[in-house]
Structure 1
Amino acid sequence: MCKEIQHKSDGKMGEVLRFAIVGVIATLIQYGVYFVLVLCLIPTLAMTIAYAVSFAFNFVASTRYTFRVKASARRGAGFALSHAVNYVLQMLTLNLFIWLGLSKQWAPIPMFAVCVPVNFVLVRYFLKVKK
């Protein structure tokens, strides 16, 4: 029974669960840093700094824990590319939600709802791509 549960956790559902755990932690790091910095910086700059802090954690956790792959220059470049796309999407949606009237402190919440699923697909592709 335990091996059956472990086997299932090693499959795609386990990967999704591990992504969710790492994603929640990375998102909390990003949002926490943003929430503090936005008190004295413009939202785009605050989110950029928060994104960089979260990115560092996310790469290590994604390679070692979520997708269980060895970090390499190729995977790092793919991860950075996927996050570059995600960063642009986050900046666009953050500023859209602020423009729509959400406060700068709360605008990241719907932004994350849009960007996290897109990020999963991109990161999974670039970290799991075969050589």
Structure 2
Amino acid sequence: MKRLITQFIQFGAVGALNTVLTYIIYLILYQHISPTLAMAVGYGLTSLLGLALNKQWVFKQSGGEMSWMTFKYYATYGTTFLLSLILTSTWVDVLHFPAAWAPLFSLAVTVPVNFLLSKYWVFTQKGVRIHASKNSPY
């Protein structure tokens, strides 16, 4: 259980780092290119960093089919992105939560879902060795 909590905290740290770096890249670029393109560039670059950090640092995976892992990584993020849109819409339009708070409620669902999909689907492949402590079932 301790390993799972540690991984969740590390996963959150990678997400926080990516968020900050995406914003910095956006601030640098948006005056020179469209804001949408600036955000896309920032997200694209930091998502690659997130893939690498989650693979090596959080889930400590060596080997594996990188193209399949990359597909699953982006499929997971796409799925949780759509889930966040659905949840945000539900919080605001159906349950009448304050719009300013709705994304935070969505994050409370999507971050754990994203973590679980990453841990048990993206970074787990048949025949790939996952480094873990001897006492950990993970």
Instruction: Give TM-score scaled by structure 2 length.
Output: 0.59
Q: Which has the higher contact order (CA 8 A, sep 6+)?
A: 2
SS in 2 for 1:69: coil
- Cα distance change of structure 1 residues 90 and 31 upon mapping to structure 2, 3 Å threshold: farther
Residue 88 in structure 1 maps to residue 66 in structure 2:
no
Residue 78 in structure 1 maps to residue 67 in structure 2:
no
- Residue from 41, 61, 64 that aligns with 1:69: 61
- Cα distance change of structure 1 residues 110 and 31 upon mapping to structure 2, 3 Å threshold: farther
Deviations 1:69-128 (CA, angstroms, capped at 9, x unpaired): 25711211111122222111111112222322422x432111101111111110112212
For structure 2, the 5+ residue unaligned runs are 28-35, 128-138
- In the TM superposition, what is the alpha-carbon distance from 1:13 to its structure 2 partner? 4.1
Alignment of 1:1-131 (within 5 A): 11-26=3-18, 28-29=19-20, 53=43, 55-70=47-62, 72-99=66-93, 100-103=96-99, 105-125=100-120, 126-131=122-127
Percent identity reads: 18
Matched residue count = 107
Check the 8 A contact 1:94/1:107 in 2, yes or no.
Answer: yes
**Could you say what the CA RMSD is over the residues aligned between the two structures, in angstroms?**
3.3
Check the 8 A contact 1:31/1:108 in 2, yes or no.
Answer: no
- Cα distance change of structure 1 residues 56 and 97 upon mapping to structure 2, 3 Å threshold: farther
Separation in 2 of the partners of 1:127 and 1:101?
A: 35
Q: List structure 1 runs of 4+ shifted beyond 3 angstroms.
A: 11-14, 23-26, 28-33, 54-57
1:6 aligns with none
Separation in 2 of the partners of 1:92 and 1:32?
A: 24
- In the TM superposition, what is the alpha-carbon distance from 1:31 to its structure 2 partner? 9.9
- In the TM superposition, what is the alpha-carbon distance from 1:29 to its structure 2 partner? 4.1
SS in 1 for 2:81: helix
- Structure label with greater radius of gyration: 2
